[in-house]
Amino acid sequence: MTAIILCSCAQQGPKLLPVGEGRIAVHGGNIWYKISGSIRGIPVVLLHGGPGFSSFYMKPFDDLSDSRQVIRYDQLGGGKSDKITDTTMFTVDHFVRELDSLRSYFGIEKWHILGHSWGTMLAVEYYKLHPEHVASLTLCSASLDIPAWEKNARELMKTLSDSSQRAIRAAEAAKKFDDSSYQNAIGEFYGKYVFRHSVQADLDSTLATMAEGLYNYMQGPSEFTITGTLRNYDATPYLHEIKVPVLYTVGEFDEAGPQLIERFASLTPGAKIVVLKGAAHITPWDAHEENVRVVRDFLHGVDSALAAVKQ
């Protein structure tokens, strides 16, 4: 009887993680996490954008917990995690180590990774170092070629009002980015290309807990003025080496640029791409149900393929 019970448990797949919120120690502080769902299977971890933002806007992906466990966390510096000011930790390598600390803490052998924006950069860099722990990559509104991103953003900037364009030029010339006119220009850009339908409470929480110093150091003063340490980042030469299933999603009006995402997909073996109609960059807000559906279907397909290989 004991042997039968052990065999039955083994067939159920990965262990269940404790559901709920908590904090774990990583290098530099403590990070906040939330685990949703009680269905055994390969879990998915959510990597939010930024750097320096938080996972509030990623809440819609908690809906994936109807078929697997979902791990949502705030990267160190933003959200409910500890703040950091040490610029030696403002690196891609730091956040890759932080992510693997989370995996190691829970004893996860393999997980699906879903990254959004900066989180896609983190996802790809994590895969480079730890491919054995990655079942698939879902890359939403990918920022994998920052020079191309900035070029696209500068083109989108030309669609803003004349007053916003003048304010941007003046701020960049003077290197004075706290001017109200420049901030208003950012707001106009956000309304067109970042999100069209916000969840106000989560937007307020995101802005209140943003690590502005971290964002400015790695990104720059805005989505279209990129002066930070990531300004030359380009993962496209590596994409052909990815050997796990990859799904790209992008909003129709996304600042990430649907044409850029199509190029990334063409460079990634076997990758799928879905353009979410009517959505800007924060697709979990602008296309909640459709975004969750296409990711759920993709993960189900990967799980089925992996199960077939084991049989």
Tell me which residues are annotated as active site.
Answer: 117, 254, 281
CA distance 229 to 248: 25
- Residue 203 in 3-state DSSP? helix
Tell me the torsion sign for CA atoms 75, 79, 84, 87.
Answer: positive
Calculate ∠ Cα 66-310-122, nearest 5°. Answer: 55
CA distance 126 to 134: 9
Under DSSP, the state recorded for 132 is G
Render 219-265 in DSSP notation, one character per residue: T-SSSS---STTTT-B-GGGGGG--S-EEEEEETT-TT-HHHHHHHH
Angle, helices 118-129 vs 92-106, to 10°: value is: 70
- Residue 128 in 3-state DSSP? helix
Helix (H) or strand (E) holding 206: helix 200-208
- Residue 46 in 3-state DSSP? strand
Q: Which residue has the tokens 């262990």?
A: 15
Tally of CB atoms within 10 A around 296: 17
